[in-house]
Amino acid sequence: MLRVDENLKSLIPPHSADERKQLEANIEQEGRVRDKIIVWKGHGIIVEGMTRFEIAIDKGYPYETEEMEFDSYEEVRQWIYDNQLGRRNLSPMATSAIRATRASILKDKAVRERTQGIKPKEKPVASTAKEFGVSERTIQRDLEVAEILSKQPQKIRNKILSGEIEATIEDVKKLEELPEEVHSKVVDLFEYGSDQQGVSAFDTLDDVLKAATQSAKIVKKGERLLKDEEEADKIIRKLFRILDDRKAETKQKDFHELCTSALRNLNSHWEDWKKSDRISL
């Protein structure tokens, strides 16, 4: 029985919503998965074609497999890493993740060699920096960012690594420093801030962080809100400004009425906002 190993899957930069949509369209046009899915012989673990396999299973398309032999799990990791280099136009964050993966593989190899009494020829970070033509500081930063992203929900991680949401190193680091009430809004905006095709209403992680910070402030202020219509109007206008007008499918009047009502019901207003099908949050 074939299966996708989540640890191995995490080594591969995810497809953006547009890339996955195109892949699904190609498979639908062919009526099958054209390229063979590569499997670790004797283990049933997919090492190439994980997304194609998931689409095939979900949509019921036929596919073929090809088995490859590997001596160890680490050899599989190395093959996947080598196979990904240069195959797609990767986002800067995905390129950073590839470098971090390489450094991690070399670190694990160094640990095994030390247990066998073998002294590594070169430090993993230094070796990775030389391989990619960057500084050791860059590789250390790549590892740090990879660690931060590994702790984030999958949707956040995927949108950043795919390049669907443009992100800087500095913005990714901010994710780890956010107060819980703000981070929860970041999760909400990634979860509900897309249209039906999965296209994000935000272009950059900085936009999301600003919107989440503002949303948290609005919620906090709403909790202190006395039934003052003028103050409610100011709060609603602030909330409306953080949304992307191009993606929002609601008129301002409807939005105002919905949020005014929600603010008056303080215990459930945030849930009402994000669950409503009239708002693209």
Orientation angle between helical segments 124-132 and 92-115, nearest 10 degrees:
140
Q: Which residues, other chains included, contact 58 with Cβ-Cβ below 8 Å and sequence gap of 6+?
A: none
Task: Give the amino acid at 101.
Answer: T
Distance between CA atoms of residues 118 and 92, nearest Å: 35
Predicted local confidence at residue 281, as pLDDT:
36
**Residues paired with residue 40 on neighbouring β-strands, in sequence order:** 45, 68
Start-to-end C-alpha separation, the chain: 39
Tell me the two tokens of residue 105.
Answer: 């593989």
Q: Which residues, other chains included, contact 96 with Cβ-Cβ below 8 Å and sequence gap of 6+?
A: 141, 142, 145, 146, 169
Tell me the two tokens of residue 184.
Answer: 């929860």
Residue listed under structure tokens 């999965």: 198
Neighbours of 103 (CB within 10 A): 25
Distance between CA atoms of residues 84 and 106, nearest Å: 17
Which pTM was predicted? 0.67
Please, what's the b/e burial string for 176-197 (b: 16 or more CB within 10 A of its CB; e: otherwise)?
Answer: eebeeebbbbbebbbeebbeee
| 37-40 and 65-68 strand pairing | parallel
Tell me the two tokens of residue 188.
Answer: 């909400």
* 3-state secondary structure at position 194: strand
Predicted local confidence at residue 213, as pLDDT:
82
Task: Give the amino acid at 152.
Answer: Q
Distance between CA atoms of residues 141 and 161, nearest Å: 15
Distance between CA atoms of residues 211 and 243, nearest Å: 8
Helix (H) or strand (E) holding 46: strand 45-48
Q: Which residues, other chains included, contact 101 with Cβ-Cβ below 8 Å and sequence gap of 6+?
A: 11, 81, 146
**Average pLDDT, consecutive stretches of 10 residues, N- to C-terminus, the chain (281 residues):** 88 81 91 94 94 92 94 89 71 89 90 85 91 94 94 89 88 91 82 52 81 73 54 56 48 48 48 46 36
Rg (CA), the chain: 23
**Residue closest to 105 by CA, chosen among 137, 79, 133:** 79
Neighbours of 274 (CB within 10 A): 16
Predicted local confidence at residue 85, as pLDDT:
65
